[in-house]
Structure 1
Amino acid sequence: MRWNRLFDDLEVQLDRELDLEDRGLRQEEERLRLGRLSLRERIAALAAPGEPAASAVRVEIGDETFHVRPTAFGRDWLAGDIIGEGPYPLACVIPFASVTAIVVTSESRIAASLETERESTARLMERIGLVFALRDLCRRRVGVSIVTVTGRVHGTIDRVARDHIDLAVHERGVPRRTRDVAEFRILPLTAIRYLTME
């Protein structure tokens, strides 16, 4: 009889130790998963498909804060629509390096942003860097307003190099013509906070 009780006690103790070990492993796995989580993944989780208003993310860049509804994610940038700035959404490109904060007012949305599933293979769009996106805007000759660390400038991107762009500065709403170009600016990519398109 005492042997049975001893074996029962050993079994309960072993179950308890195995449970503690499993719990410790799960906690360590969660710490490792969170340690690999990127800002890009958190923003993408916050902007998960659903109601348009729910997919908007409040972005802080320097001293500006606005709501963006992301439409595409690159490796180091996001494209989206700035909402609430006028009658129509304003298309923008934001480098992740310029984001100073993502403002979230609900603890449940914070928790949801942590529940991301890492895909083993990223889509092609998600591997494209900011330079590639800027080269596309250059090729299309799209008028852009660029907010830099020192202010705002409007023009057309003439060239995109590895770490900077050449911008032909001209009035908004005017196509880029040599006679309308006021000046040229060479802008380091690190100075670009975000840009909007006409």
Structure 2
Amino acid sequence: MRWDLLFDDLESQIDQDQRDEERALAIEEERLRLGRLTLRDRLAAIAGSDAGGGSVRIELHGGRTITLRPQVFGRDWVSGRTAEAASSAAQCVVPIAAIAALLPARAQLEPSLESVPEASARIAERLGLPFVLRDLCRRRTPVHLSTIDGDATGTLDRVARDHVDLALHDADRPRRENAVHGYRIVPLARVLVVEFS
């Protein structure tokens, strides 16, 4: 009988050790998963959750805050509609590198930590910021370019690997040579937001 008690005690100790080991392994796996999360992943998780209606407040370098409803994620950018825009058609492209902080609501914090699926085969997720800006350039879309150093309105004339050429003109006028009152060559590293309709 004493042997039975001893074996039962040993068996319960082994079971407890196994549960402790599994719990420690699960904690370590979660630490590793969280260690691989990027800012882009957290933003995508917030956008995909029901919390906050899919909108998230973003603080950009320089202190400007925008409320963005993300729609498309690229390799190093996110685009969507802004709540600050005067018209409901205003869209913007935000380089991930321009984000100083995400300002989630309390209800968005937990969903932002959710696992994100592996990168899908969607082409947009593999495209870089210059490609998106080249599309705006090709369509001759008037843009409002916010940079670390200030804002400018005009049309993108050229998009190179690390900079853009912006022909400056009034937002309500199409880009015509007689309407252009200057040019700016802006490094992409200085771009905070590109807004367009």
What band does the TM-score fall into relative to the shorter chain?
Answer: over 0.9
Question: CA–CA distance in 2 between the matches of 1:77 and 1:125?
Answer: 10
CA pair 135-85 structure 1, distance change in 2 beyond 3 A: closer
Question: CA–CA distance in 2 between the matches of 1:120 and 1:172?
Answer: 37
2:78 corresponds to:
78
Following superposition, the deviation at residue 104 of structure 1 comes to 1.6
Question: CA–CA distance in 1 between the matches of 2:158 and 2:23?
Answer: 55
2:173 corresponds to:
174
1:105 corresponds to which letter in structure 2? A
- Residues 150-169 of structure 1 correspond to what in structure 2 (within 5 A)? 150-169=149-168
1:102 corresponds to:
102
TM, length-normalised to structure 1? 0.93
Unpaired runs of at least 5, structure 2: none
TM, length-normalised to structure 2? 0.94
Instruction: Provide the aligned length of Structure 1 versus Structure 2.
Output: 196
Question: CA–CA distance in 2 between the matches of 1:185 and 1:84?
Answer: 25
Unpaired runs of at least 5, structure 1: none
2:66 corresponds to which letter in structure 1? F
Question: CA–CA distance in 2 between the matches of 1:69 and 1:118?
Answer: 20
Aligned-pair RMSD on alpha carbons? 1.6
CA pair 120-133 structure 1, distance change in 2 beyond 3 A: closer
Further displaced range: 66-75 or 118-127: 118-127
1:37 aligns with 2:37: yes
Aligned to 1:54, what secondary structure does the other structure show?
helix
Q: Alpha-carbon deviations, 1:131-182, whole Å to 9, x = none? A: 1101111111100010011110011111111111111111111111111111
Following superposition, the deviation at residue 120 of structure 1 comes to 5.3
1:158 corresponds to which letter in structure 2? D
Maintained 8 Å contact 2:74/2:129: yes
1:17 corresponds to which letter in structure 2? D
Question: CA–CA distance in 2 between the matches of 1:172 and 1:13?
Answer: 74
Percent of paired sites with the same residue: 46
CA pair 152-120 structure 1, distance change in 2 beyond 3 A: closer
